[in-house]
Amino acid sequence: MANPGEFEPPIRVDYPDPLWIQAVRLIRDQINSGSLTEGMRLPPERELCQQLGISRVTLRKALTQLVDDGVLAPSHGRGWYVGTANQDRDWSNDLESFSETAKRMGLEPSSEVVTVEERPASLDEAESLGVAPGTPLFHLDRVRLLADVPIARDETLVPAALMPDITGVDFETASLFSILADAGLAPERAESTIQARAADASLAESLRMQEGEPILEMHQIAYAADDRKVSMSRIRYAGDRYRLRTGFARGAH
């Protein structure tokens, strides 16, 4: 087996297949053999060009095809990464927890907990949640991961009066949605807004990306079946790791 980044056999100019198709085949062979595994970064483009004996234009055509096939994922300023088997699956526009989404995709969810605390609501937070300023809020800040790849930074606020006893809860694996559901406050609907932003230094570090890379920031208010506001979230997704599937229909005129 070739070492990672060492492609055998080399590209042949006397073969009938175009050079870029041969490059696609060789990179796929490395992945299928296990020399390149999920989440691994490919060698730099200059090095790949030298090893494969092709131009950068030809290499880019091959890499772009592999991205279209769901085999690779580009990361601006960082290179090309081997994708996951479920990379081409969209995130549903149904209201589901991060853990539920992961299970639907066949991936293992986990979290890196940044903050777990109780603190008073600010004026803006109180207005958004429909509580009085200074009302105690449960604040949970986590980096959310799928198959050990950071996908999003999730900050959620819940009125503390609605939270059950969470002593001993490990939020690296526990689902906040499930905890609320067990308390009879399962989120049934949500109002969300999503906009593009650039990652600041702190967020970039937590999501293992470069400062200034694009993110999608979602602000969401979740409601229980009785229309009580049960949570307010700010979720910042790495732009190249999140794709929302939705649909539109023309209304009556």
Checking if the pLDDT of 253 tops 70, the result is: no
Instruction: Taking residues 36-57, report their average pLDDT.
Output: 87
Nearest C-alpha neighbor of 5 from the set 38, 64, 71, 49: 49
pLDDT in tens, 5-40: 566 656 777 777 888 988 988 898 888 888 888 878
The residue with greater pLDDT, 231 or 210, is 231
Assign 210 to helix, strand or coil.
Answer: coil
How far is it, in rounded angstroms, from Cα 180 to Cα 173? Answer: 15
How far is it, in rounded angstroms, from Cα 232 to Cα 67? Answer: 35
How far is it, in rounded angstroms, from Cα 197 to Cα 218? Answer: 10
Instruction: Supply 247's token pair.
Output: 């649909």
Instruction: Taking residues 90-119, report their average pLDDT.
Output: 78
Checking if the pLDDT of 212 tops 80, the result is: yes
> Which residue, chain included where needed, has tokens 């969401």?
220
Supply the angle between the helices 45-52 and 56-68 in degrees, to the nearest 10.
110
> Which residue, chain included where needed, has tokens 């056999």?
9
How far is it, in rounded angstroms, from Cα 246 to Cα 26? Answer: 36
Give the rounded distance of the alpha carbon of 158 from its chain centre: 23
pLDDT score at 91: 57
What is the pLDDT of the chain when averaged over all its residues?
A: 84
Nearest C-alpha neighbor of 186 from the set 232, 223, 143: 223
Helix (H) or strand (E) holding 29: helix 19-33
pLDDT score at 202: 94
The residue with greater pLDDT, 63 or 91, is 63
pLDDT score at 4: 47
pLDDT score at 165: 86
pLDDT-above-90 percentage for the chain: 36
Give the rounded distance of the alpha carbon of 114 from its chain centre: 17
Peptide bond into 9 cis (omega under 30): yes
Checking if the pLDDT of 215 tops 70, the result is: yes
> Residues 24-41, buried b or exposed e (16+ Cβ, 10 A)?
bebbbbbbeeebbeeeee
Whether residue 138 contacts residue 110, with contact meaning beta carbons closer than 8 Å, is answered with no
The residue with greater pLDDT, 83 or 218, is 218
pLDDT in tens, 133-152: 999 999 999 999 887 788 89
